[in-house]
Structure 1
Amino acid sequence: MTINVSDELLGTFVPIIVYWVYSGMYAMLGSLDVYRLHSQKDEDEKNLVPKKEVVKGVLLQQALQALVASLLYAITGGNFESTQARQRASVVVLAAQFVVAMVVLDTWQYFMHRYMHLNKKLYRHIHSYHHRLVVPYGFGALYNHPLEGLLMDTIGGALAFLLSGMSARASIYFFSFTALKTVDDHCGLWLPGNLFQLFFSNNTAYHDIHHNLCGNKYNFAQPFFVTWDKIMGTYMPYSLEKRSDGGFIARPVKE
């Protein structure tokens, strides 16, 4: 018996599955101290929220994302194109849609993220939830206040989908890729051969600077590029150094 699963259903739930599988891999690799940006002791002592609460918070955000995605697919019919047009979409068209979606998502998240730091009330009551993870780890990537999750991630993703014109099928790949990249940026591990860390300047070390007190007003860009940080003067590069107890440490380099 053949079971047909719609692209819309896959687009809603596959990125969530990808998120937990990939972050689960990083959780298992976390015991490899030689690749960590922070020691396990720092992770256990400095973080201000237990992991059970982090899991609950992420699942809540993903439930809201799934609801919004379902509504969005229902309203748009999965896309503005016919099924035949989606099937004929060339690699060039798909690549262009991915680039547009990445730029839209980066732009939305940069300015929303930065404003949540500049506005003291928003930071204290909303964005500070995410910064309870002083030492980030993979499955905590989407640990946010529910309102922040809605404003920054869910609405940003919806805009990226709508403005790029991608189909529901293309969105499966785009949002799965985004989930991988978001987890990777928070994983806290500098692994040899990691393609995300090789090809993207916005990586786990770059974002780790932002979670440090000295970098709290820098490196707002996420999840793909560092372009807006450079344009807006909030870019803080880093240098990687070996820790005396093993592993690495990302140190800010003020230009």
Structure 2
Amino acid sequence: MGSENIDQQTRGGYVSDEVLGTFIPIIVYWVYSGLYLMLGGMDNYRLHSQKDEDEKNLVSKKEVVKGVLLQQVVQAAVATLLFTITGSDVESDGDQHASIFVRGIQFLVAMFMLDTWQYFMHRYMHQNKFLYKHIHSQHHRLIVPYAFGALYNHPLEGLLLDTIGGALAFLVSGMSPRTSIFFFSFATIKTVDDHCGLWLPGNLFHTIFKNNSAYHDIHHQLYGTKFNYSQPFFVTWDRILGTYMPYELEKRRGGGFEAKPVNDCKEH
């Protein structure tokens, strides 16, 4: 019995994949958003001025931090429960033998599942006046998004949109706890990047994904609240269902960029 306990401890380097899968994405959130916080003074790359961020947002940064921490507590609790219920005590050796191709397919399935869930839930929270007024409008208090506000939501929205969406992506894709560490860390980085409020040269997310900081910034403006629901990866559902609002970047007087719609769909 003693040797079995030692094996269980050493198998994951004294920390199980389930524990790492629960807490690494949370650590990644604060580390990555912290990097963007240090870059926040780069006025030449901001999508909004610092003055707009300070004056237009309807919630203090202290309240944003408290809201995000609350969501992450719920997120950790649900992840722990999920790993326990599914019996995801998968042996590391078996996971190591999974091919890169298999893991790639699991990533793509999880990305599609998460995108699909979040698009329709997000859109419904805009279309249902009660849900928007009492739940989703909390996220839109950040008219000028910034990195560590990415997960600032009403607790119920955080549970329904992000946490349950992540759980479904995990279950449907069939990924292991070890693979989930990488997937949810990547999804966290992408979500933070979409809310960073910066358009930095050389950012691979802007090259690879149409769904990026400028695309999501459009959604946070009054004329874009009925468009660009897609998050966090692709714009597929927006394109298919007619809620896609393309944009162009213009140099803003005083430095930085401004994302503007390129057609008159905001009038529809």
Report what 1:191 is aligned to.
200
1:50 and 2:60 correspond: yes
Structure 2 residue aligned with 1:152: 161
2:95 alignment partner, one of 65, 83, 86: 86
Q: CA deviation at 1:77?
A: 2.1
The structure with more radius of gyration: 2
Alignment correspondent of 1:127: 136
**Which position in structure 2 is the counterpart of 1:118?**
127
Structure 1 spans left out of the alignment, 5+ residues: none
Q: Secondary structure at the match of 1:166?
A: coil
Matched, 1:24 2:34: yes
Structure 2's unaligned 5+ residue stretches are 1-9
Map of 1:161 onto structure 2: 170
Q: Give 1:179's aligned amino acid.
A: T
Tell me the equivalent position of 1:223: 232
Partner of 2:107: 98
Q: AA paired with 1:133?
A: L
> 2:182 and 2:147 mapped to 1: Cα distance?
20
- Alignment partner, residue 244 of structure 2: 235
Q: Please tell me the residue identity of whatever aligns with 1:127.
A: H
3-state SS in 2 of match to 1:250: strand
Percent of residue pairs identical: 74
In 2, Cα distance between the equivalents of 1:30 and 1:85? Answer: 43
Aligned-partner residue type, residue 89 of structure 1: A
For residue 85 of structure 2, what is the amino acid of its counterpart?
I
**What is the alpha-carbon distance in structure 2 between the residues aligned to residue 16 and residue 196 of structure 1?**
20
Aligned partners of 2:132, 2:43: CA distance in 1, in Å?
Answer: 32
Equivalence for 1:210? 219
CA distance in 2, matches of 1:32, 1:141: 19
Query: Following the alignment from structure 1 to structure 2, what is the Cα–Cα distance between the partners of residues 191 and 73?
Result: 37
Displacement of 1:76 in angstroms is: 1.2
Deviation at 1:253, TM superposition (A): 1.6
- SS, match of residue 245 in structure 1: coil
TM-score (norm 2): 0.92
Shift of 1:83: 4.5
Q: 1:87 offset after TM fit, Å?
A: 2.1
Runs of 4+ displaced beyond 2 Å: 81-85
- Secondary structure of 1:236's counterpart equals coil
Number of residue equivalences: 253
Greater CA deviation, 82-91 or 172-181?
Answer: 82-91
TM-score under structure 1 normalisation?
A: 0.97
| SS of 2:132 mapped into structure 1 | helix
